[in-house]
Amino acid sequence: MNMSLDRFITKEPEQKRKPEPMEPKPKPPEQPKVIIEKETEENEEPLEEEEVEIEGFEEPEEALLEETVFEAETPENTGPCFLLSVSYSGKKSCALVKLYDPEKGKIYFWYDNTGHKPYLLTDMPLQEVMKNPSVLKNPGFDPAHCQVVRKTDLLLDTEVELTKVTAKDPLSIGGRGKGLRDILPQTWESRIRYHDCYIYDRELYPGYLYRIRNGTLERVEYKIPDGEIEAFKKIFPPEDEVFKEALDRWLPLFSCPAPNYRRVAIDIEVSTPQLDRIPDAKAAEYPVISAAIVSSDGVKRVLLLRREEISLGEKPSELSDVELIFYEDEKKLIEDIFKVLSSYPIVLTFNGDNFDLRYLWHRALKLGFRKDQIPITLGREVALLSVGIHIDLYKLLHNKAIQVYAFGNKYREVTLDAVASALLGIKKVPLEKLVTELSYMDLAAYCFRDAELTYSLSSFNNDMVMNLITLLMRISRLSMEDVTRQGVSNWIKNLLYFEHRKRGYLIPRQEDILRIKGETFTRAVIKGKKYLGAIVIEPRPGVYFNVVVLDFASLYPSIIKQWNISYETVRCPHSECRSNVLPNTPHWVCKKRKGLMSLITGLLRDIRVYWFKPKSKDKSLPEGLRRWYDIVQHALKVILNASYGVFGAEVFPLYCPPAAESTTAIGRYVITNTISKAKEEGVDVIYGDTDSVFLHNPSQEQINRLLNWVEEQFSIDLEVDKVYSYVTFSKRKKNYLGV
DNA sequence: CACTGTGGCCGTGGCC
DNA sequence: GGCCACGGCCAC
C-alpha cells in the first residue's frame, strides 16, 4: 500500500515518487533559494508571558527570535501541499505559512495577503478605546482595523458585544513590557499566540492539504470514496446537524494519508575536555569536530574536522556506504551543516532544541558568522529553522501521552540509547574514551550511529512516528513544531480554542470559569488530590475458572458525551436546568445546549470505536491501509484518554473542577449499578476496577442480559473485553493474574 | 522543568 | 519493632 496522493486530485500527472534510501550515490537534494540580505532586527514569539529581563551586554537569547534571511520559494501556484506550520514573519509583518510539496519534496513559503492582524477583545466600547490616551500612545495600536464584534458568552449563555482591538504586530498586544492587554482593564483572547490565532481565524488544519492558487492559500478537499461515505453513514445515523457537520469535517482529516516526508537527521559532536560534561551550548567554547547526516533520499555522510594528532583509524564495515568529508576549517564545516539545515523540509534531531542546533548557533556566531547567515532561530527552549521544520525527537518522546499510548511504555528513560534499543533494538556505539580522542573512523562511526538512530526513530514501522505526528497536527490544529513539543493538554486546549472561534464563542478566562463553577464537592481518598476518583472493588482472594471481564469502551469519554459534560454545561446558568442533577453530585447539567467538549469528545470517541478501530483489525483490507487506521485510532486514543483529565488540571485554561468530578462520579454510579444488576441476575462478581467487572462463570444469557440492560439504562457500551480460563486474586487490589 | 486525572501497592527512611 | 509520610510505579 502506498500512501500516495493519487486518491484525491486529478490534475497534475503523477510523477514517480523519490526513490527511498539506500541509493548508493544519490543526487544532492534540490536546495531552496538562499537569499542573503542585510540584517534585520525583528522579533518573533511575542506573546510569551512574563519574560524575565536578563542583564548583561549580550542580548539574551530568551528575549528575541532573530529572523534570518534564509527563505524558500514563494510560488503563485502550486499543486496540493501539506501545511506544516504557521509562524509570524517580523520582516514582512504578517503570518508565514510553510507548505510541503510532496512531489518535489520541498518547502514553499506563503505570506498572508488577507490583511489579518493581531488583536484582542475588550469590553470597553469602541469609541472609548479610540480616545483612550494610553491606547493611543501605544505605537503598535492599529485603529484602522478595530471594530465591534458579537460573540456568544457560553458561561452566561448570552450574546455579548465586544471591541476587537487590533495591533500592527503581535508584540503590541502583549509581549514584554506594556502591550495593549496590559493597558486595557479587561481583555479576552489576548494571550493566544498570534500564529495560533491565525490558524483559528482562517480555519486552517495543519497536516492537511492546501495549495496556492493565483497567490491565494486554498484548502484542497480530500475525496473520500463514495462507498466509504455510505458505509460510514450506516454506522453513524445522522443524529443532528452539528454532529453531521463535524463528521463531514473530521472524516477527511483522518482518511487523507500523510506524505512520505523528505527529511534529514543530524547529530554533531563537540570536542570536550571531560567525559561526563556536556558542553554548554550557550558558551560554545569548543570546536564542532563532526556532524553526521542521514536522509530519506539516501544521503549518508559524516563531516569531520581535521585536528592534530588524530589518527585515521580503521574503517569499520558500517561506514562502508558512508561518505566521509574532511574539513581543515571548522567554519567551512559549519557552513556545510547550515546548507543541509536549510535545504531539507524536515530536520530531525535528538535534543537539538537544547543542544545541537543551539550549540551550532552560538558557535557560528563565535566563529564570525552574522546572525542572518545562520538558518536557525533560537527561542527560550526551542531551536527552529528558517526554512524547514525542526523536530526534536527527544521532546516528542518525552511526552508522557506518546510514551504510554503510542509506544506502550516500551522505553523507561528518554535517552537515545534507551529509546533506540527499546523501539529499534539497536544501541548507540559504546564509548570507551572521550570523543576528542577517538580516531577519525571511530568518531565517524559513533556520530553516524546517532544520526542513523535518530532517522530510524522517524522511519521505523513504516514511518509510524511521522504519520502519528501528522494526525496529531490535524486533530490539535497545531503546527508540526508545536505539536511535537507540547503536551496533550495543549493539544486539547488548541483544538477547543479553534472550535470556539469557528462557532463565534468567546474563549473564556480561567478565573471566570472557576468563579462561576466553583471548586469540587467531593474529597479524594488520597491526600493531596482534589476530588474523588474511581472505585476499585475489593477482590475475593482465590482461583477462579472461566472468568469473563466486561469493560466499558472508553468510559469517561462516553460519559462526557452521554451526560453532556463540558465546562459550560455543568452548572449552567439556566434555572430550568437545575433539576437535571448528575448522579452522585450536587451538580446539574444543561438541557438546552450541547457542550462543546461533550460534542467533540463524543465524536472522536465514536469515530474511533465504530470506524477506525474495527477497520484497523479488518483483515480484508490491505495491510498498509490497516496500519494507517491503526495509527489513526492510536492518535485518537491519546487525545481521548486526556479529555476528562484536563478538566481537573490547573494548567488547563478551561480548568473546571465540577466537570472533572462529575465525570468520575458518574463513572462510580455506572459501575456500581452494573454490579448490582449483575448480582441481581445471579452472577458472581469477583472484582472490578474503574470501568471493568470480573464475572465468575457467567452464562452467555446472563452476559447478554447485562449488556443489554446497561445499553438501555445508560446508553453506553459495555463489552466483553477478555475471557480467562482462570484468574487468581490475592487480597490486594490491582494485582491479579489471568490466563 | 514539565505541565490530563485518581486509586492502590510497596519500599524507604525518619521517628519513637 | 511498629507507625507513618512520601515517592515511585503501576492500573485504569
**Which DSSP string corresponds to A289-327?**
EEEEEEETTS-EEEEEE--TT----PPPGGGTT-EEEEE
CATH class of A263-476: alpha beta
Measured CA A472 to C1' B5 distance, in angstroms? 21
Measured CA A199 to C1' C8 distance, in angstroms? 40
Q: 3-class SS at A510?
A: helix
**The C-alpha cell of A593 is what?**
445546549
Comparing A645 with A273, which gets the higher pLDDT? A645
- Please give the Cα distance from A135 to A167 (Å, whole number): 10
Check if residue A734 sits with its Cβ under 7 angstroms from strand C. yes
Nucleotide lying nearest to A555, CA to C1' measure: C12
Facing residues of A89 across strands? A94
Pairing of the two strands A263-270 and A288-295: antiparallel
HSE, side-chain direction, 13 A CA sphere, residue A133: 0
CA torsion angle for A284, A288, A292, A293 (degrees, to 10)?
70
Predicted confidence at residue A15, as pLDDT, reads 37
Give the whole-number percent of chain A exceeding pLDDT 90: 82
Task: Assign 3-class secondary structure to A340-402.
Answer: HHHHCCEEEECCHHHHHHHHHHHHHHHCCCCHHHCCEEECCCCEEECCCEEEEHHHHHHCHHH
Which region among A275-284, A438-447, A652-661 has the lowest average model confidence (pLDDT)? A275-284
Nucleotide lying nearest to A398, CA to C1' measure: B2
Q: 3-class SS at A135?
A: helix
Predicted confidence at residue A12, as pLDDT, reads 34
B1 nearest neighbour residue (CA to C1'): A381
Question: What number is the average pLDDT over the span A426-437?
Answer: 91
Nearest to A544 by CA among A340, A685, A356: A685
Q: Is it the case that residue A28 has pLDDT exceeding 80?
A: no
Measured CA A724 to C1' B12 distance, in angstroms? 36
Predicted confidence at residue A408, as pLDDT, reads 84
Distances (CA, A) of A117 to A55, A94, A110, A397, A423: 32, 8, 16, 35, 45
Nucleotide lying nearest to A354, CA to C1' measure: B1
- Please give the Cα distance from A594 to A655 (Å, whole number): 18
Nucleotide lying nearest to A399, CA to C1' measure: B2
Comparing A66 with A734, which gets the higher pLDDT? A734
* Mean pLDDT for all residues in chain A: 89
Q: Which amino acid is at A385?
A: L
- Please give the Cα distance from A706 to A673 (Å, whole number): 11
Question: What number is the average pLDDT over the span A299-325?
Answer: 96
pLDDT in tens, A347-367: 999 999 999 999 999 999 999
Check if residue A373 sits with its Cβ under 7 angstroms from strand C. no
C9 nearest neighbour residue (CA to C1'): A412
C10 nearest neighbour residue (CA to C1'): A734
Q: Are A481 and A488 in contact (CB under 8 A)?
A: no
Matching fold, domains A263-476 and A499-738: no
Q: Are A5 and A259 in contact (CB under 8 A)?
A: yes
Nucleotide lying nearest to A524, CA to C1' measure: B6
Question: What number is the average pLDDT over the span A66-82?
Answer: 85
Predicted confidence at residue A29, as pLDDT, reads 40
pLDDT band at A649 (very low <50, low <70, confident <90, very high): very high
Measured CA A392 to C1' C11 distance, in angstroms? 31
Nucleotide lying nearest to A690, CA to C1' measure: C12
pLDDT in tens, A219-266: 999 999 988 888 888 888 766 777 777 778 999 999 999 999 999 999
Predicted confidence at residue A646, as pLDDT, reads 97
Each domain of chain A, given as residue ranges in start order, spans: 61-227, 263-476, 499-738
Question: What number is the average pLDDT over the span A545-560?
Answer: 96
pLDDT band at A324 (very low <50, low <70, confident <90, very high): very high
Q: Does domain A499-738 have CATH number 2.60.40.3080?
A: no
pLDDT band at A59 (very low <50, low <70, confident <90, very high): very low
Predicted confidence at residue A52, as pLDDT, reads 34
Using a 7 Å CB cutoff, list residues 20-59 of A near strand C: none
Nucleotide lying nearest to A664, CA to C1' measure: B6
- Residue A735 burial (C-beta neighbours within 10 Å; 0-12, 13-18, 19+): exposed
Residues 6 or more apart in contact with residue A223 via CB below 8 angstroms: A7, A8
pLDDT band at A287 (very low <50, low <70, confident <90, very high): very high
Q: Is it the case that residue A57 has pLDDT exceeding 80?
A: no
Measured CA A540 to C1' C1 distance, in angstroms? 30
Predicted confidence at residue A69, as pLDDT, reads 61
Q: Is it the case that residue A27 has pLDDT exceeding 60?
A: no
In angstroms, the first-to-last Cα distance of chain A is 36
The correct CATH number of A61-227 out of 3.40.50.300, 3.40.50.460, 3.30.342.10, 3.40.50.720 is 3.30.342.10
Predicted confidence at residue A350, as pLDDT, reads 97
Nucleotide lying nearest to A404, CA to C1' measure: C10
Measured CA A355 to C1' C10 distance, in angstroms? 33
- Please give the Cα distance from A719 to A721 (Å, whole number): 6
Predicted confidence at residue A276, as pLDDT, reads 65
Q: Is it the case that residue A335 has pLDDT exceeding 50?
A: yes
Measured CA A738 to C1' C1 distance, in angstroms? 37
Check if residue A527 sits with its Cβ under 7 angstroms from strand C. yes
Q: Cell numbers 554548554 label which residue?
A: A280
Q: Which protein residues have their Cβ less than 7 angstroms from some atom of strand B?
A: A 381, 398-401, 404, 487-490, 524-526, 529-534, 536, 641-642, 644-646, 648-652, 660, 664, 690, 732-735
Check if residue A690 sits with its Cβ under 7 angstroms from strand C. yes
Predicted confidence at residue A275, as pLDDT, reads 59
Nucleotide lying nearest to A522, CA to C1' measure: B6
Q: Give, to the nearest 10 degrees, the angle between helix A657-680 and helix A700-714.
A: 150
Give the whole-number percent of chain A exceeding pLDDT 70: 90
Q: 3-class SS at A288?
A: strand
Question: What number is the average pLDDT over the span A611-620?
Answer: 95
Predicted confidence at residue A456, as pLDDT, reads 97
Which region among A28-37, A569-578, A668-677 has the lowest average model confidence (pLDDT)? A28-37
Question: What number is the average pLDDT over the span A376-381?
Answer: 94
Question: What number is the average pLDDT over the span A309-336?
Answer: 96
Measured CA A547 to C1' B5 distance, in angstroms? 29
Q: Which amino acid is at A393?
A: L
Measured CA A413 to C1' C8 distance, in angstroms? 14
Measured CA A150 to C1' B11 distance, in angstroms? 59
Comparing A184 with A240, which gets the higher pLDDT? A184
Using a 7 Å CB cutoff, list residues 528-547 of A near strand C: 534
- Please give the Cα distance from A453 to A266 (Å, whole number): 10
Predicted confidence at residue A174, as pLDDT, reads 85
